[in-house]
Chain A
Amino acid sequence: MATVITGAASPERLEEAWHETPGLGSFLTTVDHKRIGKRYLYTGLLFLVIGGIESLVMRIQLTHSNLHVVDPETYNQLFSMHGVTMMFLFATPVLSGFGNYLVPLMIGARDMAFPRLNALGYWVFLAAGLFLYSSFVVHRLPDAGWFNYTPLSDSVYTPGPNIDFYALGLIFVGISTTAGSINFIVTILKMRAPGMSLDRMPIFVWGELAMALTVVFALPALTLANVMLELERRAGFHFFAPAGGGQPLLWQHLFWIFGHPEVYLVVLPALGIASAIIPTFCRRPMIGYTYIVLAEMAIAVIGFGVWVHHMFAVGLPTIGLGFISLTSFLVVIPSGVQIFAWLATMWAGKPVLRTPMLFVIGFIILFVIGGLSGPMLAAVPLDQQVTDSYFVVAHFHYVLVGGAMFPIFAGIYFWAPKMTGRLLHEGWGKVSFWLMFVGFNALFFPMHILGLRGQPRRTYTYQAGQGWDFLNLVETIGAFVLALGILVTFVNWVWSAKRGEPAGHDPWRGESLEWATTSPPAEYNFENIPTVRSREPMWDQPELGPHGQPPEAGGRGLGGGHNTLGTSLLEAEPEVVVPMPHESPWPLLLTVALAAVFVGLLIREWVFWAVAAVATAISVAGWFWPRGETQET
């Protein structure tokens, strides 16, 4: 007797279950991880443009000594918002965007674990970005630097609302980041396709997991510090001002307990992008998979033990500095492990120099240069000499722009064809890369030299005759070349989305599961949830293709309903068939209510605030109000 298979899926049934009717309605209510992921990407890149324009204005101001293009107050606002924008509104959201789009595809799931929380994360990120930039309208942008030290940021020295925009805005955006991270962790731990045990998980997914775990334990420090700052500024509490028994250094500790892991959580998924691209373009599996994964996790953990190296010049006890100096040096080891694994993979394979690979190689070079100035700064005596100079600016732009933005651009060239169905133009991609690479080095390399020659960061101009003028001119030219390179990619992307060469489902012959879907993927991602038998399933399982995996090869259709598969944490064995929530207006409504709460706190209209708080409670109730059978039951 033949085996009877019940629960097979058909594209028609899945289409019916998962379809979101295009239009304004579904634009506002969508919970599709692919649409949300793209929104994160586009919005994040818009903030890259804004933050980039801020830096260009600063560069124009610094082109020559004694210029007065902007006044000192504006300059303070520019560098403060440049840092805030690039860290919180560009790098983190764009990397979340890649994760949102790709993680469910890479692990063979039909959506994220909490689709509505996913939608909330995006809307809150957008609302918090608008909240922060609404300070521009009243000319009161945050102006105490992205790390906002007290006492400068307290109500005595900055009485205007500038810092309130900063503190409330970052608390607000933290809601988005936290919600997104919890979503990533549950998705990655509980929704991997059968057979994808942890040791078969793509390294990119490991990177997103490391980022999300870091957020869970690091971000509370920032939120708490900002709550305390607001209580001190607005309600007369005492935490940081010495007058009432507070300690200014408490802010620095709390900020950097968050701030240093934050730096790593930007770099970790970016390293994951590099690890996704290198094997594909070297035509061989990654060498040292286990070591790379352990290195990523080690960086995430060590990142919590190095915060005081931002405070070497503060005057803390020497024994503490020694310990933190040691842990800071330790970071070199896992970073080096990854670099050598990438080099070994390239050495043993046959690298194909297409644009994504070019960006990855550029990234490795810049990351190594940034990695050389890192240990220099981990040495306390050197750090105390060059602290707050352009040497530090050079270091962290090499590791953050080189270490995160170049992989992000590699990711755009690599995965945009999956999103749009069309390849980006190769020639313009290479033009963009070389402009960015040359521009970047012209912009940031001279900062090492100027820093050693004593140019301080965060000063809006400098005297003539210090020997700083020529290199500053070079930097400004480099900044515009870099900006031009970025612009070329944006134009390329927009142009290619309509006119580019059709990509097909697997243009690069990649090794992970996102290439087993159509480009762009169907709304349900996979007709059958595949069974994975390899670390490189697309290379080792010929039955995988744009039409999924047939049931005979292990594919699970789950009856073709609006559901996905829950699996066990370590071995990814099937445990439960989870009905997924449908489109919902509540994430957006909750965001609007929350935004009103934050506006109420800012303008201190307590009736307005109370109404907003009630609206928030109603939105939460509406969200959880049962409709049909979903996982929240």
Chain B
Amino acid sequence: MTLAREAPPLVPTGQPDEWLPTVGEGPTNFGWWGMVLFIAVEATVFALLLASYFYLRFRSGPVWPPDGIESPKLKLALVMSAILWSSSLPVHLAHGAIKRGEQRKLRTYLALGFLLGATFLLLQGAVEYPDIVRHEFTPRTDAYGSMFFTITGLHGAHVVVGLLMNAWVQLRAWQGAFDRYRHVSVGNFVLYWHFVDVVWVFVLATLYLSPHL
């Protein structure tokens, strides 16, 4: 038995001298598995979407982007990327904090992660999209435009969901729902948020960098 470690309230199982915790950490928790599999589904969606982008690209003419559209501008995209990726750090620290039972740090780091994610979204929705739509192309221009907005839009939708999850965990944290043993929701949000950041690596490489090759 490895029950000597500090653990949440143990309950008897009905076997002699066997007591088990009521909350699991990581892979011993059903919720963790649920989130991992949900991420597997979402990752498959993105993989297929990016593959569709390349399918359309390689079946179109020699020039990409087509129809006189310029290759995507990189400056803003790279700034946005840096902001989004940097949000993974406070989120990671938030998880570590609650594992040690530090409520205040949990809330602060969550808020910081929220702020960075929201900034990314704001730059995308209020600066990048309007600029592209006004001067370059819309989703209705051609397949390139459709793909660009579908892929970045789907990623943006995932950022929105991540922010909602962040806000939910923040709310629950204020209610004192989490302690060093019970924080499955925090862990699941952290997993999801890292996933959203990792997907952006592939989105950036595909949509923004590959046309420059």
> Are A and B associated in one complex?
yes
Write the residues of chain A forming the contact surface with B, with a CB cutoff of 8 angstroms: 3-9, 113-114, 117, 178, 181-182, 185-186, 189-191, 216-217, 219-221, 223-224, 228, 231-232, 235-239, 244-247, 250, 253-254, 257, 528, 551, 554-559, 563, 565-566, 568-569, 574-579, 621, 624, 626, 629, 631-633
Q: Is B144 an interface residue (CB 8 A)?
A: yes
Shortest beta-carbon distance from A530 to chain B in Å: 11
**Are B56's CB and A239's CB within 8 A?**
yes
Chain A interface: which of B47-55, B85-93, B97-105, B195-203?
B47-55
Q: Is the CB of B28 within 8 A of A566?
A: yes
Majority SS of interface residues in chain B? Answer: helix
A237-B146 in contact (CB<8A):
yes
Residues from chain B with Cβ under 8 Å of A114 in the complex: 30, 34
- Pairs A–B under 8 Å by Cβ, sample size 12: A9-B14, A185-B37, A191-B30, A216-B41, A231-B146, A237-B150, A245-B142, A254-B48, A556-B15, A576-B21, A577-B21, A633-B182
Chain B residues near A231: list those with CB within 8 A: 139, 146, 150
Whether A551 pairs with B15 at a CB distance below 8 angstroms is yes
List chain A residues, Cβ under 8 A from B66.
245
List residues of B whose CB falls within 8 A of some A CB.
11-18, 20-24, 27-31, 33-34, 37-38, 40-42, 44-45, 48-49, 52, 55-56, 59-60, 66-67, 139-147, 150, 168, 172, 177-178, 182, 184-185
Contact A245/B60 with A4-B16, A576-B20 known, Cβ cut-off 8 Å: yes
B44: A residues at CB distance < 8 A: 216-217, 220-221
Bound form: Cα–Cα A228–B17 in Å = 58
Report the Cα distance A389→B59, complex, angstroms: 30
For A579, give its contact among B22, B49, B168, B185 (CB under 8 Å): B22
Q: A247-B55, A254-B52, A566-B24 are in contact. Are A238 and B30 (CB under 8 A)?
A: no
Residues in B with CB closer than 8 Å to A247 are 55-56, 59, 143
B60 contacts across to A, CB distance below 8 A: 245
Q: How far is the CA of A510 from the CA of B55 in the complex (A)?
A: 52
Which chain B residues border A579 with CB–CB below 8 Å?
A: 22
- What chain A residues lie within 8 Å of B142 (beta carbons)? 238, 244-245
- Residues in B with CB closer than 8 Å to A575 are 20, 24, 28
Does B40 lie within 8 Å of A217, measured CB to CB? yes
B45 touches A224 (CB 8 A): yes
Complex contact B146–A7 (CB within 8 A): no
Nearest CB in chain A: distance from B111 CB, A: 20
The listed residue (A216, A228, A559, A632) touching B14 by CB distance below 8 A is A559
CA distance A551 to B11 in the complex (A): 16
Closest B residue by C-beta to A186: B33
Contact partners of A221 in chain B: CB under 8 A: 44, 48
Among candidates A9, A190, A224, residue contacting B49 with C-beta atoms closer than 8 Å: A224
Q: A254-B48, A632-B184 are in contact. Are A7 and B168 (CB under 8 A)?
A: no
Residues of B with C-beta under 8 A to A228: 52, 150
Contact A3 B146 (CB under 8 A): no
Residue pair B52, A556 in contact (C-beta under 8 Å): no
Which residues of the partner chain B approach A629 to less than 8 Å between Cβ atoms?
22
Closest B residue by C-beta to A8: B14
Q: Are B14 and A238 in contact (CB under 8 A)?
A: no
Q: A558-B14, A624-B168 are in contact. Are A186 and B139 (CB under 8 A)?
A: no
In the complex, which residues of chain B have a beta carbon less than 8 angstroms from the beta carbon of A239?
A: 52, 56, 143, 146-147
Bound Cα distance from A257 to B16, whole angstroms: 52
Asked if residues B13 and A190 are in contact (CB atoms below 8 Å), the reply is no
Indicate which residue in A223, A253, A577, A624 contacts B55 across the interface (CB closer than 8 Å): A253
Q: What A residues does B20 contact at CB under 8 A?
A: 574-577
The closest CB in chain A to the CB of B58 belongs to A247
Sample of 12 more A-B contacts, CB < 8 Å, known A8-B14, A245-B67: A3-B16, A4-B16, A5-B12, A7-B12, A186-B37, A216-B41, A247-B56, A254-B52, A578-B24, A579-B22, A629-B22, A632-B31
Query: Shortest Cβ distance from B47 into chain A, in angstroms?
Result: 8
B12: chain A residues at CB < 8 Å are: 5-7, 559
- A631→B184 contact, CB < 8 A: yes
- CB neighbours (8 Å) of A563 from chain B are 11, 22
Residues of the B chain whose Cβ atoms lie less than 8 Å from the Cβ of A190: 30, 33
- A residues in contact with B33, CB < 8 Å: 113, 185-186, 189-190
A576 touches B41 (CB 8 A): no
CA distance A626 to B176 in the complex (A): 12
Closest Cβ–Cβ distance, residue B113 to chain A (whole Å) = 19
Minimum distance in angstroms from A552 CB to a CB of chain B: 10
B146 in contact with A238 (CB, 8 Å): yes
